[in-house]
Structure 1
């Protein structure tokens, strides 16, 4: 083991995920292992903290050992730290390995150190300042910055080393309630941001808009709108500046994920026509009004789309979106209202325009079985299918026909089936289905959600076929 090269060690580290214990053990084997795994641990040390206050405190106690002598004296003069406890200097510049900075944990540490009383605000400011100066001077290649604290008031770009640390930033996660001047400062240095994750929205932020404007290759944008009190929605054009900034990158953006609100006009209507290179589109909404975004979604034109996640839309509009794609769409998750006059057309549109379909969610009724059969036959790459019964209450869909269709016509790649709502499945229907599935090469992952016809007798049969290896996993999603 001691002679394994570094590439193999990096591959091994991926198997540990966020479990720090085996990574710590690897540090003790020899010098090569230590040098390899210490860089992994310090690349993103925050992911090993698990919100544990004790771990946060221990981590930052190590971090502040890296402080310069001037920083130590400054903090000691403010009665924040005991100089005698900071004499031990680390033999390795651990912070140089860090390329992901989560400022939320800086705030947690300082709260633990000073408490929350306003009396110590000045102390908190000084220690924040020295920690941020430390990271700007020691981080050699910062790639990710999480900036979500509305009280953050430090101009990072003014700190020594910022011109070396910040230019390679590629992912920014932030909120709009951070001081606009902070973003204006970042815009002077950061030009290569590819991903912006905007969490929550309170007001237009001119500095953030400017930061977005100057990026050279912005290709991922995520925007989550929280529903605040009505006073926060004074105008429908609240996000107009942000929308205009995003529109400037219409040719580059390929991943766009937004939580919508019918009271906020974002993204602008032009978005749906100009972002023609999109590959991933996720549009969710907070409103309870179904189909309230149909008028916007009619303009969607995403010919290169591969992943579509959309909520509260009509089947007509969903068919319209899919019909404008050019065959690359392989993942569809859409929340829509069932319309018996549109359902067949939707399924037909899917199998005509999505030959490479792998994952699909459908709401269907008995009348749709013929088109479902065609979808199963024509979408040869189908791997997962989720089928929700349209009928409610005492009206039970014909589960025996459905199971027969799945086992007879599903492509060989299909391995995951989830049934949702009131499918009527008898014990005999289930056993017949599983017996026939045994002739397939791939074992089945079978899931149910809100299917009242499933009894303890059904579960015994499922356990039997799981033991035989025909079912690799059964899951009742109501209990997960």
Structure 2
């Protein structure tokens, strides 16, 4: 009879699959022990199941998943909650739960619960009143507060806070006391912010989505924290006093904040200069000139800055000046612009890069050679294919000859309507030459595409070559990923 791995060993192994829900689900079906270990990890964050860009009602597979989750949560409700719901005309037929699933959760989305409740009621074609919907939501939240020993992350957005009184939930203080991540909209009812401010003082990651108004309780919440490390500000267009107060209050954490994201916002950026220990800065915008205020930072020194990502278009001269001051310490750089002078500046001022995302225009192979030669710590690069960018064959030949010894990961992004022109013989030559390099680090190849692109693997001969060299051990892994505009932001 084969010996079974003990639970603590299984737990350590399964932790590696925390984000791989399909693998964890398969582990549930092996035996009772595997089920007991994997279910705790699987339910740690049930909100990892994305709804899809067209909404949950157009995604049949995800609807089944969400229906299963909400029905399971309802089955976990204590008898007194089920009786209360029944007395108010809400009756769900649910099987007895094998586990107390809610107690495993460490991430809670109040918005997600509301969406699931709407889904399950719609599927039942119920004429449930708003009072009944709110009552069901309250009982589920009460269960979380009572059953979860220590919540790690909480998100709540507009329209879901007015009826929630956390202070009345047994166990709320214990559950939320060590909350480390909080996501919210700026216009939440001030009373809810006040409740969080009284209970939570250890939030390290704060994500604020600004709405039409900014609650006067938001700045108080920020001020009540002890060690804020990461902040995301999204859609900041407000000119209200409360909105400005939020920015001013953040300056309290000038020495502890190490990560700042500003997304789809139009705001002065001079306040960023106060965060002297900033290690990661991300700016994004959907329109040209979205970060016009960046010139306020061109002369500022950030001695700890290691990650810099710009998902917007900036004035090249200003960006080059910023890199001249701060480029030496950078380990990761994402630039949306396509400019040869900027790429040459990267090669000159950013010698310690490990990850680079930029664009190389056709007829600029020497610039790529310069970057690969000067950035000897480079491990990963993203290469754009199609349109007027450097062709695949030339790029791969340069990469083989000039890439640093630690280089191992190539991401090839095929732009809209791009068509691969790489022949199977050229691809095979690349793999052969790669294996002959002095460094024997195995290659990881990622294809990023949209549905209109014809990337290299769609050639059957190319795909057979890739599979063949994976079996030979020349390629560590090969993945195809759908392109999303914001996939680098998370």
TM-score, normalising length from structure 1? 0.77
Matched residue SS, 2:137: helix
Alignment of 1:437-476 (within 5 A): 437-440=434-437, 441=440, 442-443=442-443, 445=445, 466=466, 469=469
SS in 2 for 1:165: helix
Contact 2:414 2:455 in 1 (8 A): no
Partner of 1:187: 197
Greater Cα shift, 177-186 or 468-477: 468-477
Q: CA deviation digits over 1:335-375, x for unaligned, max 9?
A: 2263x6xx1xx445434443331222334568865554343
| 1:155-180 CA-partner distances (Å, limit 9, x unpaired) | 21332211111101111122223222
- Aligned-partner SS, 1:206: coil
8 Å Cα contact 1:305/1:329 also seen in 2: yes
Contact 1:313–1:337 (CA under 8 A) maintained in structure 2: no
Following superposition, the deviation at residue 111 of structure 1 comes to 2.3
Taking the aligned partners of 2:85 and 2:483, their CA distance within structure 1 comes to 53
1:166 and 1:455 map into 2 onto residues whose CA distance is: 47
Partner of 1:225: 235
- Indicate if the aligned counterparts of 2:420 and 2:455 stay in contact, CA closer than 8 A: no
Residue number among 157, 176, 179 corresponding to 2:167 in the alignment: 157
In the TM superposition, residue 105 of structure 1 has moved relative to its aligned partner by 3.4
Alignment partner, residue 332 of structure 2: 331
Deviations 1:234-262, CA, capped at 9 Å, x for gaps: 74877312211222212111121121433
Q: Distance in 1 between matches of 2:219 and 2:128?
A: 35
Matching of residue 240 in structure 1 with residue 233 in structure 2: no
Rounded to whole Å, the distance in 1 between the matches of 2:449 and 2:70 is: 45
Q: Could you state the TM-score of these two structures normalised by the residue count of structure 2?
A: 0.76
Deviation at 1:109, TM superposition (A): 3.8
Alignment of 1:360 onto 2:363: no
List per-residue Cα deviations over 1:297-347 (Å, max 9, x = no partner): 425432211211112112222222223337431211112263x6xx1xx44
Structure 2 equivalent of residue 302 of structure 1: 302
Q: 1 CA distance for matches of 2:34 and 2:478? A: 37
Deviates more, 1:399-408 or 1:237-246: 399-408
In structure 2, the partner of 1:229 is none
Task: Find 1:411's aligned residue among 404, 408, 415.
Answer: 404
1:7-26 map, 5 Å: 7-13=8-14, 14-15=16-17, 17-19=20-22, 21-26=25-30
Q: Given the superposition, is the C-alpha separation of residues 478 and 220 from structure 1 closer, same or farther in structure 2, using an over 3 Å criterion?
A: closer
Name the residue aligned to 1:166. 176
8 A contact 1:141–1:168 mirrored in 2: yes
Q: Which has the larger radius of gyration?
A: 1
* Equivalent in 373, 377, 389 of residue 377 of structure 1: 373
Is the 1:403–1:429 Cα contact (8 Å) retained in structure 2? no
Where 1:221 maps in the other structure, the secondary structure is: strand
CA RMSD in angstroms, aligned pairs only:
4.3
3-state SS in 2 of match to 1:246: helix
Counterpart contact for 1:315–1:337, Cα < 8 Å: no
TM-superposed deviation, 1:107: 1.1
How far apart in 1 are the matches of 2:467 and 2:78? 62
State the match for 2:107 in structure 1.
Answer: 100
Matches of 2:459 and 2:120 in 1, distance apart?
53
Aligned position for 1:77 = 87
How far is 1:438 from its partner? 4.9
For the structure 1 residues 69 and 464, does the alpha-carbon distance in structure 2 shift closer, same or farther, using more than 3 Å as the test? Answer: closer
- Is 2:149 the counterpart of 1:148? no
What SS does the aligned partner of 1:248 have?
helix
SS of residue paired to 2:357: strand
Measure how far apart 1:97 and its partner are.
Answer: 2.3
Go from structure 1 to structure 2 and tell me whether the alpha carbon gap of 1:477 and 1:407 turns closer, same or farther (over 3 Å shift): farther
* Aligned residue pairs, count: 453
